[in-house]
Structure formats: structure tokens, C-alpha cells
Structure 1
Amino acid sequence: MSSPAPPAIVQPAPHRPDRPLLGMALRLLAMLFLTSMFTLGKIAADRHVTLVETVFYRQLFAMPVVFAFIALRDGPRAVRTNRIGKHGLRAMMGLLGLACNFGGFILLPLTEATIIGFTMPMFATILAAVVLREATGIHRWSAILVGFAGILVIARPDAGHFAAFGVAVALAAAFLTACISLVIRDLGRTESPGVIVFWFTALSLPPLALLMPFFGHGHDPVTWGLLVLTGVVGAFAQLFLTAALRYAPVSVVLGMDYSSILWATLLGFLLWGEWPMATTWVGAAMIIGAGAYIGWREHIRSRQPNRI
């Protein structure tokens, strides 16, 4: 779940991809910060913070960091846009995706939630075939089936502890992230990455604020600190993702995303005593392998347009 990049994250076209090691290092930092953000949200839930509160404060406390970065780099006027309607659509989808991402991490062990997030490329392929009418051959459809079979291996519904709701929420997060990628692809033709990130954060706050009187309540100082950290850490994750793609192409840095499994496993063990079963690693290999194969087939197709 996060780990393809959560709904708030924008991936711009690379700029001067001549420092691959720096790009990879920044992507690794982004994965650490993303996993930490969802871990903080899970800890906050243990302290009786509602999901609405977590998402609201994540956006609220991220806003100053994101705006300051854009203002210092490009000036405050850089956030102007003529496509507020499309930004609104992206914000609403992103808001749902962010909520599902946090929900998946709250309901499932960290490692399982992270691994299920890697189904995003499969959903993106399905959407490209159905919505964009892109040709999708037997190779990629087979990879999709293998990937979804990997989810069943992880969930083990035959073992009597199938967390159906948690898995459904995590899959919804991956699906929404794939949907958002299509909207961002369109926005990216006219908008800079900073503008897309800013308007997602700004436009998602008003509907959340309307819900806060029903879901918000007071907290102790430690919990408030967790909520502030969730927003700040999430903002820096966005900035690291953006910066990584300024120094290296997507094909170089994308493999770093799988490091989030390491962070999730480590944090899950240290904080909750979670340790994935052998079936989790088998399912992870199936899901990651399917996603990698889909990416490879996309690369082949881009070089030889007549092949699928």
C-alpha cells in the first residue's frame, strides 16, 4: 500500500537523469518516510485517533511544508492553475485513496499491507485496457492472475483467519492509486509536480474539515505529536519522491520501492511483534514478480509497438 506511492504522491518526468545514485538514495528515503508515515498512523489508531482525524491532520500538517518548498523554489505564484476542476477530481480520488491506505495499514500487519500495495501495477494495466483501450496480451493478463493468486496465498482464507475487510481496504487503496495515476498523467501535461501536490493537499482539507466535528476529539500531547509527525513525514516523503525523479529516470529508481517491505517488516516486528509467515513471502514473490513482469512487458512494448 504505500509503497507504490500513496495517493498524495506525484511522479514527475525526470530532469537531467545523470545522477542515478542520488536518485536511488532519495527514493530509498522516500520509502522509509512513507512506511514511517503509515506506521505513525497505525500507532495513532492504537491511541484512539479516528481515521478521519489521521487523514485530516496528515494533510493539515503537510500543507505548510509543501507550500514552503514550492514558494522557496519557484515563488508563491507558482501554485496558480487553470484546471481547478481536474485538480478537484484528483483531490477527491486521492482523499479516498489516502484513507484506504491508512485503513489498510491499521487493519493489517505492516508487511502484508505493504505487499498488497504492490498490486497497483496490475490494476493500472486493467484500467489501461478497459478505460484507455490499450492492447493487453496474454502475457500481462497471466501476470495479473498470478499476482492476485499471490494475495490469496498471503491472506490464506482456508486457514480460518482471513482478514477479508482489511484485504479489501488495502486492495481498494491500490486500485485508487492506479486510478489516480491516470488523472495525474493527464494533469502532468500542463501542470508541474509541485502544483499537483499543492492542490491535492489544499482541496482535500475542506471536506475533511466538514467531517471533523463528528469524528474529531481531544488528545494528549504524545498523540498530538504523532499526528504532527504524520503530516510532516508524509510531506517529506512527497518531496523525496519528486526529487528522486529529478536525478534518475523511473526505470532506475522504481526498484527501490521494494525496500518498503524491509522497513515494514522491521517496524512491525519492533512495535507489534509481527513476523510474516512463510506464505506471506511466497505471496510477496508472486505479487512482486507479476508487477515486475508487467513492467518488463511494458518496456518491450514501448520499444516494439506492434508487440504486446
Structure 2
Amino acid sequence: MVVRPREERTSGGVAMMLLAVMFFTGIDTSAKWLSIAGLPVLQIVFVRYAGHFLYANLIYLPQEGASAYRSQAPLKQFMRSVFLFGGTVLNFYALKYLPITVTTTIAFAGPIVVTLLAIPILGEKVGVRRIAAVCTGFVGVVVVVQPWGAEFHPAMFFSLGTLLLASMYFVMTRMLAGVETNATQQIWSSGLATLALAPFGLTAWVWPENTLTWMVLLGIGAFGLFGHIWATIAHRWADASILAPLIYSQVFWAALVGVLIFDTWPTVWTLGGGAIIIASGLYIWRREVAKAQQGGSHGRTV
């Protein structure tokens, strides 16, 4: 089992991340479709991870054998897996009640939350201006959630929980960078979730009523596997500060599937709050790029 080192392939990394974001939207779209079709949320989450686990084994076991299951940091890998599938459960519950544009826009605050979590967990130093940008991004989330208005739905708390757990997942992914192979990360994250959710997903099982629903059910795991594979490769090929703003391309895909598949249009509040979140996230990204360039000019490795 060989852990591949980082490579300087920025263009390829950007392309991989854009592809990953498109497939992440495919996960959310499939989950909402299956929920509308009447399948229980826990069954959908179980199939999402069981499919991911099955496909990962079919791809990696012929290449790496049993070594794909051996983790160099099992406790951290376990925590990372728990954060991922916990966030998925909450996200799928949110998608049952909320438009995909709303859940996606709230998720855009993820890079901002990661910035805050990185201070106590990763020991990163954050300046006053970045803290101000984080606070501005939080305002954008409040605009989308609208706790004061008639548009507020309690399911938004599920999305906020997803935001926190997903952010912890990415923090743990940073910790494991250069420690674990792609195969181990895919098999552990999907395998643990499959084991944990099997009793609930199988108990609540409802058989799909038509071929299209079966296709979506079988496809959601593939969306998960390839989305996370390409995201992992992207972060090995390009700096995280370069890849971070690419998550905002999901607003295009979310709006597109919302209109074409679910006949829902983004509201003014969603668009306005999303613009605030994106602006704050891009500011943080720009600061990171400037710091990296400054460090490079002084001969430092960043």
C-alpha cells in the first residue's frame, strides 16, 4: 500500500474538483428524488453508502487487496467516517423538506466554518480580517434561513447540522492528507456507514415502484464514490486554497436541477444570502492565495 505524494498539477486538480462538485450535486438530486418517490430517508442513506462501499471494493480490491482496509490512523479515520455519514443523514432529511437550492446555499458556508474550526483543532492562525469575513458569511446563512420570516422551515436546522458535520469531515481529511491512500479513505468512510446504517435502512426498506427509481437508487452510490475519489485526487494535485472556491460552482448545478427536475426556482432570499456567503468565501480564498504568494517570495514552502 503506497500513499501517493502531492503533485503540482493545478489545471488537472481544478478539473477534477469541478467534476467532483457536479457529482456531489448528483448525490443530493438523487436523494431528493428518492424521498419524493416515497423511500424512507434511512433507506436512502444506507443505499448511498452501501453502493459506495460495493463499488469501492470492486475497484480497489483487485489493485491493492486486503491492504486497502488497513488504516494508518484508525481512530481519526473512524471519526472522519462518522462525521461524513452523520452529515449525510441530516442532509437527506433536510432535502426531504427543503429545495435543493436552499440546502446547497447553506452548505456554501462550509469553507467559512472550516476556517473557524481550524483554529482550535489544526492550530491555524486566523487574522482579524478573515474573522470579519467569517462573520459576514454567517450573515449570509441567516439571510437564507430567515428565522424571522414565514419562509423559515425547521428542517433548516438539519442543514445547519450538516454544515457543522461536513466541516469536521473536511478538517479530518486535512489531518489524514498524506497519511492514508484514496482506497482506504473510500472503503472506511463507506464501510463504517454501511454497517452502522444497515439495521435501520433494511428495517425501513420500501421497494421502488418503477425502473427509474431503481436506477436512481443504484446510481446514488456511484455519485458518492466518484465524487469523493475525484475530490481526493484534486487535493493531491492542487492547493486547497485554489480548490476551495470551486465548491461555489454547485450553485449552478443546484439551480439547474431545481428548475429542470423539481420545478423549483431560487428565491430572492436564497440568491441574496448565497451572494453574501460566496463573497465572504472568495475573500478568505483571496487572502490565502496572497499569503501563499508572499510566503513563496520569501522562500517558504506553503
TM-score by length of 2: 0.86
Structure 1 residue 38 corresponds to structure 2 residue 46: no
The answer to whether the Cα contact below 8 Å between 2:40 and 2:204 also exists between their aligned partners in 1 is yes
Equivalent of residue 259 in structure 1, options 243, 249, 266: 249
Residue in 2 aligned with 1:184? 173
Residue in 1 aligned with 2:298? none
Output aligned runs, 1:135-214, within 5 Å: 135-163=125-153, 165-214=154-203
For residues 27-64 of structure 1, give each alpha carbon's deviation from its aligned partner in whole angstroms, at most 9, with x where no partner exists.
22222111111101101001111111111000111112
Q: More displaced, 175-184 or 44-53?
A: 175-184
Distance 1:33 1:166, change over 3 A: same
CA apart distance, 1:192: 1.7
Instruction: Return the letter of the residue paired with 1:203.
Output: L
1: CA distance, partners of 2:130 / 2:15: 30
2: CA distance, partners of 1:187 / 1:241: 14
The answer to whether the Cα contact below 8 Å between 1:91 and 1:200 also exists between their aligned partners in 2 is yes
Residue in 1 aligned with 2:215? 225
1: CA distance, partners of 2:122 / 2:17: 29
2: CA distance, partners of 1:13 / 1:76: 18
CA apart distance, 1:117: 0.5
The answer for unaligned runs of 5 or more in structure 2 is 296-302
Instruction: Return the letter of the residue paired with 1:257.
Output: I
Distance 1:82 1:258, change over 3 A: closer
Residue in 1 aligned with 2:281? 291
Equivalent of residue 107 in structure 2, options 92, 105, 117: 117
2: CA distance, partners of 1:130 / 1:85: 19
CA apart distance, 1:153: 1.9
The answer to whether the Cα contact below 8 Å between 1:14 and 1:249 also exists between their aligned partners in 2 is no
Residue in 2 aligned with 1:66? 56
Instruction: Return the letter of the residue paired with 1:35.
Output: T
Aligned length: 292
2: CA distance, partners of 1:275 / 1:263: 13
2: CA distance, partners of 1:132 / 1:187: 12
Residue in 2 aligned with 1:6? none
2: CA distance, partners of 1:182 / 1:251: 14
CA apart distance, 1:75: 4.4
Structure 1 residue 28 corresponds to structure 2 residue 18: yes
The answer to whether the Cα contact below 8 Å between 2:241 and 2:289 also exists between their aligned partners in 1 is no
Structure 1 residue 53 corresponds to structure 2 residue 47: no
2: CA distance, partners of 1:207 / 1:85: 16
SS at match of 1:272: coil
Residue in 2 aligned with 1:243? 233
TM-score by length of 1: 0.84
Q: More displaced, 261-270 or 220-229?
A: 220-229
Distance 1:25 1:82, change over 3 A: closer
1: CA distance, partners of 2:252 / 2:265: 12
Equivalent of residue 103 in structure 1, options 83, 86, 93: 93
2: CA distance, partners of 1:154 / 1:281: 8
The answer for unaligned runs of 5 or more in structure 1 is 1-11
2: CA distance, partners of 1:82 / 1:251: 26
What is the RMSD computed on CA atoms of the aligned residues?
Answer: 2.5
2: CA distance, partners of 1:14 / 1:44: 39
SS at match of 2:155: helix
1: CA distance, partners of 2:197 / 2:172: 21
2: CA distance, partners of 1:251 / 1:137: 16
